Amino acid sequence: MKTKNWDGKTRGGKLGHELFIFFLKYFGIGFAYFILRFVAFWFALFSAQGAKSQYNFFRKRMKYGKMKSVFSVYKNHFVFGQILLDKVAILSGLGKKFTYEHTNPEVIRKMLNDKTGGILINAHIGSWESAGQLLEMHGSKIYIVMLDAEHEKIKEVVKQATGPERIEIIPLKADGSHLKKIDEVLKNKGIIAIHGDRIMGDAATVEHEFLGERAKFAAGPFALAAKYGVPFSFATAFKTKRFHYHFYASEPIYVKYPGNLQERKTEIFNQSKKYVELLENMIKKYPLQWFNYYEFWEI
């Protein structure tokens, strides 16, 4: 069966983004959360593909009962909306409301202080954008490589709310022009964040057992780590309370770059498996924060 890849589009639209930024700015995050309860219900009820894929995730992967799966679909949409609102609030300078705890923050600190550079390979679980806040604490910019095809005006709306200086987006382009910027950042031992759980077009993939069934993951992030000799870390943040996040970074992992092509493929497979195992463990711990709204296991 042919892989059903993600189409690159983020949920919601320009109007939705603008409305939530408006409520956040003029009425506060508490009111925005209140409005979100109705928006989440609408998405859970009328977004057929997303709701169905999430229901299957809770039923087949998490082994929930039918009613718990239905209710979890709603809660998943609500948490997703909260995290989006929190992201805008934090990046807009309203971060004093939030508290944080960190697991392995020294991983990123060492990447910067030891000038090794690195790749934060994250996933659509939790709030991966929060990695940028930790980097900012160390006086560094985060470069986020985005696999998306969302409208440029949506990006502009978010940019207006967050400001252009803290995060720099490296959009993936069909002509490969994004590779020049990635090359520049990694050669200068900077840090980039990139997803490992979504695939666009004919991008190289690696297949692993994941939550009970085979699934495909992007091979590109691990190939980059090998090519530039930089470590990678699975890093993201999870919302654990109303205004509290737990940032997590795994111990750094190096991917060797053997001269033989088949040996390189084997090395990428072996090291990417460690990422998949870390991701699986986190999903089991925070199942409501899995935000891939399509049939991930269709291969």
Residue 31 has pLDDT above 80, yes or no: yes
Cα distance from N-terminal residue to C-terminal residue, the chain:
6
User: Which of 23-27, 262-266, 295-299 is least confident?
Assistant: 23-27
Cα pseudo-dihedral 136, 139, 145, 146, rounded to 10: 30
Give me the chain's average pLDDT, please: 83
Kindly give, in sequence order, each residue whose CB lies less than 8 Å from that of residue 56, ignoring residues fewer than 6 positions away.
295
Task: Tell me which long-range contacts 197-200 makes (C-beta under 8 A, separation of at least 24).
Answer: 197/123, 197/124, 197/125, 197/279, 197/292, 197/296, 198/5, 198/6, 198/124, 198/147, 198/292, 199/3, 199/5, 199/6, 199/147, 200/5, 200/6, 200/8, 200/147, 200/172
pLDDT in tens, 53-84: 999 999 999 999 999 999 999 999 999 989 88
pLDDT in tens, 130-165: 555 656 666 677 788 875 554 354 455 555 555 555
For 60, which DSSP code?
I
Mean pLDDT for 113-138 is: 78
Choice between 136 and 171, residue whose per-residue pLDDT is larger: 171
User: Which of 15-19, 160-164, 207-211, 275-279 is least confident?
Assistant: 160-164
Residue 258 has pLDDT above 80, yes or no: yes
Residue ranges per structural domain of the chain: 14-289
Assess if CATH 3.40.1130 describes domain 14-289.
yes
pLDDT in tens, 231-245: 999 999 999 999 999
pLDDT in tens, 195-208: 899 887 778 999 99
> How far, in Å, CA of 120 to CA of 237, rounded?
12
